[in-house]
Amino acid sequence: MGLEGLPGVDQVIPISRPYKLASSELSHHEPTVFDVDGRRVGGGQTFCLIAGLCTVESPEQTLGVARAVAAAGASMLRGGAFKPRTSPFSFQGLGREGLRILADARAEVGLPIVSEMTSAQLADDFAEAVDVVQVGARNMQNYGLLEVAGKLGKPVLLKRGLSSTLEELLQAADYVLKEGNERVILCERGIRTFDTAMRFTLDLGAVPWLKLHTHLPVIVDPSHASGDRRLVGPLSRAAAAAGADGIIVEVAVDPDVALCDGPQQLYAADFARFAAEVAAHARLLGKKLA
Ligand code: PEP
Ligand code: MN
């Protein structure tokens, strides 16, 4: 907004932003900060490192990566049990069995669980099994699902739609917030552009823009954005340097045999070094790993 830079203008209070509850101007002045099982999200002191599988395939595969990321200082464990696949003929995830495997991994390594809820009918299962309910890019504008997620009483990780504007993302967040759930994490995960060199185009400008316009914490998913593990390190460090509150990355002990998204998954054996490099960039902004 050009008025903000004019001489004599101390503060501009817009009344016409389409997102009401997510806006930093109208409803909140302080950034939203909350804990997930003792891990601080938002607030500028901590950096949240969410890491783990694309898709849960077995207890051994899940425990293997859970141990590796926990040992390297990850804040939370990710893993898909219900997968939103482009084709109905692709592996759809283990479903409820996958949620049980994740719960066992949490019991073993002590990391809170992040997993995607693809349908409102699964609300009870997710309320019981996970610590953070993810709403995926393809469901960002599934408003019924957002309302149900908002009522669960769990933090919601809301990913930006594949072709959604940031204003649409914040209005989607309003659907969760209006249910009285303040604990929303926004996630930039790459958008569709004319460029097909990478899987999606990571919009890093979204991080400082969202920081200006909303009080909600903002994280970045460089794995789905790039589709290429070789780019995940640089993009993760860039996200930390741009002021993100965290990242969510895919890691596996053996990505070469993964049924989904193998090429973008970090090798668990490389994860400790990756985490240390990202943490060093977060430290430059005064943040330590949550
Ligand atoms: C995921 O994180 O597992 C996922 C499917 O991501 P997105 O919704 O961003 O495509
Ligand atoms: Mn994936």
pLDDT digit string (tens) for 82-97?
999 999 999 999 999 9
Cβ–ligand 1 distance for 224 under 6 Å, the answer yes
Q: What are phi and psi of 245, to 5 degrees?
A: -85, -5
pLDDT in tens, 142-197: 999 999 999 999 999 999 999 999 999 999 999 999 999 999 999 999 999 999 99
> Which ligand is nearest the CA of 135, by number?
1
Question: Best substitution site from 116, 141, 187 to test ligand 1's pocket, by max atoms within 8 Å of Cβ?
Answer: 116
Q: Whose CA is nearest to atom 3 of ligand 1?
A: 54
pLDDT of 10? 87
Degrees to nearest 5, angle at CA 29 with 23 and 31: 80
* Phi-psi label, residue 252: left if phi above 0, alpha if psi -120 to 50, beta otherwise: beta
Token representation of residue 242: 């741009």
The model's pTM: 0.94
DSSP 23: B
Cβ–ligand 1 distance for 136 under 6 Å, the answer yes
Question: Best substitution site from 142, 157, 224, 261 to test ligand 1's pocket, by max atoms within 8 Å of Cβ?
Answer: 224
Which of residues 1 and 61 earns the better pLDDT score? 61
pLDDT in tens, 36-55: 999 999 999 999 999 999 99
Chain Cα centroid distance, residue 109: 20
Q: Find where tokens 């790459």 sit.
A: 190
pLDDT of 2? 75
Find, among 102, 95, 60, the residue nearest to 79 by Cα.
Answer: 102
